Amino acid sequence: MIRIILFLLLIALAAAGAAWLADQPGDLVLNWGGLRLTSKQPMYLLGLVIVVAMVAGVILRALWKVPGHIRRGQRERRHARGRHAITQGLLAIGHGDSSAARAHAEVARRHAGGDPLALLLHAQSAQLDGDRDGAQRAFRAMAERADTRLLGLRGLFIEAQRADDPVAAVMIAEEALKMSPSSSWASHAVLGFCCAKGDWAGALSIIDNNQTAGLIDKATYRRQRGVLLTARALEFETVDRDLSRSSAMEALKLAPTLIPAAVLAAKFESEAHQVRRAMRIVETAWLVQPHPDLADAYSHVRLGDSARQRLVRVETLAAKTPGNIEGALAIARAAIDASEFAKARAALERSQRRRRSASRC
């Protein structure tokens, strides 16, 4: 408005000056050394108007920029105060001063309310005060903005966990995962929920997405997928034998040393009368990590064997890892089943001697 008034005022002054000059009769004469210039009134008027217009243009341009300079200076001062308040507020949160953090958050809200860090400061100061409603409002405001949406969802997820509301927490995590498949916290949360409710297809899909997004390396991916497939195989063992078998075999390919997968796969091979294949499966896992379940599966690879036959087979397996305590214990259990108590006692004594020597070391 001020600019328009100034512009109209200059135009009025220029018009009045031009009218006054036009009413003055006569000629203009300029003597300068040996130079003499004579001009009629209209020509002089034209030159004067040009000069006045140029000067007026310069003045008008300068006046036109004054309000902008003033507003820019005010914005810069307000921005500087807001940034200073954000910095001091985050530092106050860092050393646990809730009152200072709250005061700085209020200053930041007034001077830099649209700054994402101001919203974060407000949310964290509310969390430090124990004001869950205030923290949720701040995180909800962040979730409504495109540039802070993921951070706002993360905050709402944490608040839902603190409120012991797993349903809301999972819904928030699923929304975050749709927005950013590479979000590790959302992926972990949704994966846990899928496993808890037995949604193995959903869990496997998340693992695949994690590997594609580079959140896990190939070895971790193979191990985690193997674990999930084994869990599905165990759940469907008595419900859907074909799905259970295929899941166990795929898990074994991904993680040959995964004990539950090896035990279940060996069981399926034994039922299919593939005894040698079942033995190889158990031996592969046993050489890496001897385990009682592996010894039990190895002893039962041939259905209908007697207890003495199972004992001989377990002794064969234990011999592959000489000196291992699990092997001695497996022999003792098989010997007791076969009523070979002297052999069981000898195996247990060897186990005790090894345990004592290991404790001394």
Helix ranges (H only) for 237-324 are: 241-254, 259-271, 275-288, 292-299, 307-319
Is the pLDDT assigned to residue 101 strictly greater than 80? no
What is the pLDDT, as a whole number, of residue 124? 74
Instruction: Report helix, strand or coil for 211.
Output: helix
Say whether pLDDT at 43 is over 70: no
- Per-residue confidence (pLDDT) for residue 6, from 0 to 100: 61
- Give pLDDT tens digits for 124-136: 777 777 777 887 8
Residue 23 and residue 19: Cα distance in Å, rounded? 6
Q: What are phi and psi of 27, to 5 degrees?
A: -115, 160
| Per-residue pLDDT at 157 exceeds 80 | yes
Question: Of 199, 196, 151, 157, which Cα lies nearest the Cα of 174?
Answer: 157
Radius of gyration of the chain (CA): 42
Rounded Cα gap, residues 101 and 124, in angstroms: 9
Q: What is the pTM of this model?
A: 0.66
- The pLDDT assigned to 114 comes to 67
Handedness of CA 328, 333, 339, 342 (dihedral sign): positive
More confident residue, 251 or 80: 251
pLDDT digits (tens, 9 = 90+) for 259-318: 999 999 999 999 999 999 999 999 999 999 999 999 999 999 988 889 999 999 999 999
Question: What is the distance between the alpha carbons of residues 256 and 265, in angstroms, rounded to a whole number?
Answer: 10
Q: State residue 79's pLDDT score.
A: 66
**Contact call for residues 329 and 292 (beta carbons, < 8 A):** yes
DSSP label at residue 8 = H
pLDDT at 34 over 80: no
